[in-house]
Structure formats: C-alpha cells, structure tokens
Amino acid sequence: MSLNYLLIHFLSFNAQGNSVKALVWTVLFVLAGCTTSNSVNRNVPDDAVVNYSDVAGYEDRYSNLYDDFRAYPVTCEENCYPPSPLIDCETDMQDCQFTGTNPDSTLNAGFTVTWLGHASFQIQTATGEQFLIDPVFNQFDWPVNWAFRIAEGFNRTPAEVPEAVSIENTNAVLYSHIHYDHFHKGDIADIGTAPSYLVPLGFADHFPEDGYRVMEMAWYASEKIGATTAYFVPAQHFSSRIMVPYLYEDNDKTLWGGWVLEQGGKTLFFAGDTGYSPHFKDIAKKYGDIDVCLLPIASYFSEESPRWYRKVHTTPEDALIAATELNCKVMIPWGYGNASWRMGDKTSHSALFRLLYMKKQLTNEIPLHILNEGESARF
C-alpha cells in the first residue's frame, strides 16, 4: 500500500469542510507529481549474445561466456613489487603519484580521456560527444558504506569530480555493471536526466523513477550517440547488489560487460571489471585492433584475496596479455590510486608497481600511458 494512499485516506477520514478537502487533493497532486516514470528500452538485436546459467533453478541468471576458464598465460610468483623511480610515494607503495614521462601520442584517434579515479572516466570524442563511464564520485551507497566504515581500507579519499558545467555536457552515461564501486545512485541524481543512460540487461530496475532515459543492452548490441557508436561487449565477471553476496538473492540477475566506442574508424575500449579469458580475443576479432584500451590492473588475486578473485579480476600481467591480444595502440591502466577502495590489492599503488615490473619481464611492447587521478590525455 503506497504512502500516497494511506495519507489520502487518513486526511479524508479527518477532513472537515471543503477547504480541507481541497487541501487533501492539493497534497495528492503534489505527491503524484514528485516522480516521473523512466523511459526504458531493451536493445537485443539478432546478432547480440546473451548467455544464461546452467545451474538448476537459476536458468534465468546471466553467465560468463568462458565460465570455466583458468588457463592464465603467466603469473608473477615473487619479487613482484620492486621499487620504481617513476612513482613517488609518501609511504611504501601508498599515497603515490606517477612522476614518469608518458610517450607522445601519434594516434590522432580523437579521444580525450580523463581519469576520475577507480573505474570512472570522462571521454570526449573528436566530433564533440562526451561520455561518462562508471561515474562514482562518493563512497559506496548506503548501507554498505556504513558497514565498510568499520572495515579498514574500504573507504576511499574523495574522487575527482568534474565541474558541474562539464557534467551538463554529457551526452551519455555508460555503466559496466551494478557493483557498488561502479554504480552509485546518488551520483546519477547529480548527473540528472539530460543524458542517455546505456546499461546492461536487467539494470534499469536499479534506477529511481525520475524521468531517466535508460537503454538496456545485450552483449554486442550498439547505440548511436551523435557521430559515435557505443558497443556493449562481454567481460568475465558477475553481478550482485545485496549486502550478503552468494546467496543467489540477486546474483547475476543483471548482465555485466565492457564498452567499445567507435568514431570515424577509431576505437576506445573500456574493459569494465573482468578476469582474463578468451573474450578479449573475441572482441579483437569483431572490432579489429583497438586504438585506446582502458584496462583494469587492481583488485586482483594476491595472498590477501580469496582464490576466486582472479576469475573475475585481471592481475597486472593479465591486463598486459589482454592488451597484446587486443593489439592496443596504447594502454591506460586503472583501478589503483589514492581514491580507490583497495579491494584485493596490497596498497593504493601496488598494482602499478607490479604492472611496470611485469611489462619489463614480458618485454611487452604495448605503449603505456599512466595517469594520476584527475589527469587528462588526448590520443
């Protein structure tokens, strides 16, 4: 029974006279006008891919394309975090800034990339479109953030937030999945209803009813935003939004994935949270060599994290292998940083130290462009 219903009946029983009745109807009108229904559509073309669980009783849940994959090409076993002259830290791998020199870009791909912290990016294209990817400027949504206040290491320092005028120029907001560090309901209220919201299947139910334009998408579905096409692509991950995970209350009821932006034949790839699997090769086969790759390197399996973590989070060396398979013209790592939540990694910048070390060990030739939070680069 709705609050409006109870309020109206309460006032009706206690109303005396026409003036009070008029007040009742005024209150009803105001309350009814407080929310506007969202416009929700689903994009599942014939060539899209949707993979469902084969677990008995949960056949309506989504599943990874390579759910049993475990054949990781390389793993750093020891001495994975040697000092680097390119990173200046206040303490051991903690509270750091990258001070090295990034290679000059000759791509002329037309993408301007601003890293806002953790998994949040602002992307501008050569034709003027602006995207926000996984914008999270606050802590986790309540009540999870409240619970994490008693768990050391799970609160972040404030993230970089674009100026209001910059947010107002956003054409589309892209989400990879519903986990708290990638989707914050308070932030979409600040961003507002002007942009389109492109999200995975099942995601729209998590939006408040306030006039948002939401397009749910299957893997390999696409949407045109101005002169730029956004493709939703697979990732090796999972989804849940409840406080106690793995009880199958809401596990995998929403899809997860990454994004490919294509404009004028140039491409940018945001992997989302993902483990390493053959899906990177699938993406390369479908879209060709990727110009700009935004790949996660943190929240990976270490001695401090549970064993299943690597299935759904790339290590720095996994990310380097993925960049090679995608034939990235440049790789931008993310997930580490002073505004991260340090879920699985040792310190704020341990993943970056490991990335630089493993790039040398693997003689990986993919150019790295390393950003500090809040910095921008044009490619």
Q: Would you say residue 3 has pLDDT above 80?
A: no
pLDDT per position as a tens digit, 220-243: 999 999 999 999 999 999 998 875
> With 60 as the cut, is the pLDDT of residue 14 above it?
no
| Number of neighbouring beta carbons within 10 Å of residue 367 | 16
User: Is beta strand 196-200 parallel, antiparallel or unpaired with respect to 376-378?
Assistant: unpaired
pLDDT at residue 24 in the model = 41
Quickly state the pLDDT bin for 346 (edges 50, 70, 90). confident
Q: Which residue has the higher pLDDT, 70 or 201?
A: 201
pLDDT above 60: residue 28:
no
**pLDDT for 182 beyond 90:** yes
In percent, the amount of the chain with pLDDT more than 90 equals: 69
9, pLDDT greater than 60? no
Question: Is residue 317 pLDDT above 80, yes or no?
Answer: yes
pLDDT digits (tens, 9 = 90+) for 36-66: 899 999 999 999 999 999 989 889 999 999 9
Contacts of 363 (CB under 8 A, 6+ apart): none
Nearest CA to 136 out of 335, 274, 346 is that of 335
Q: How high is the pLDDT of residue 27?
A: 39
Q: What is the 3-state secondary structure (H, E, C) of the chain?
A: CCHHHHHHHHHHHHCCCHHHHHHHHHHHHHHHCCCCCCEEEEECCCCCECCECCCCCCCCCECCCCCCCCCCCCCCCCCCCCCCCCEEEEECCEEEEECCCCCCCCCCCCCEEEEEECCEEEEECCCCCEEEECCCCCCCCCCHHHHHCCCCCCCCCCCCCCCHHHHHCCCEEECCCCCCCCCCHHHHHHHCCCCEEEEECCCHHHCCCCCCEEEEECECCEEEECCEEEEEECCCCCCCCCCCCCCCCCCCCCCCCEEEEEECCEEEEECCCCCCCCHHHHHHHHHCCCCEEEEECCCCCCCCCCCCHHHHCCCHHHHHHHHHHCCCCEEEEECCCCCCCCCCCCCCCHHHHHHHHHHHHCCCCCCECCCCCCCEEEC
Q: Is 262 in contact with 233 (CB distance < 8 Å)?
A: no
Is residue 307's pLDDT more than 90? no
Taking all residues of the chain, what is their mean pLDDT, rounded to a whole number?
87
Structure token digits, residue 237: 């991950």
- pLDDT bin (cut points 50, 70, 90) of residue 303 is low
Find the range with the poorest average confidence among 106-120, 274-288, 290-304, 313-327: 290-304
Give the per-residue pLDDT at 31. 43
User: Once rounded to an integer, what is the mean pLDDT over residues 103-118?
Assistant: 94
Domains and CATH numbers, the chain: 3-32 (no CATH), 39-378 (3.60.15.10)
The model's confidence at residue 186, banded by pLDDT at 50, 70 and 90, is: confident
Is residue 23 pLDDT above 60, yes or no?
no
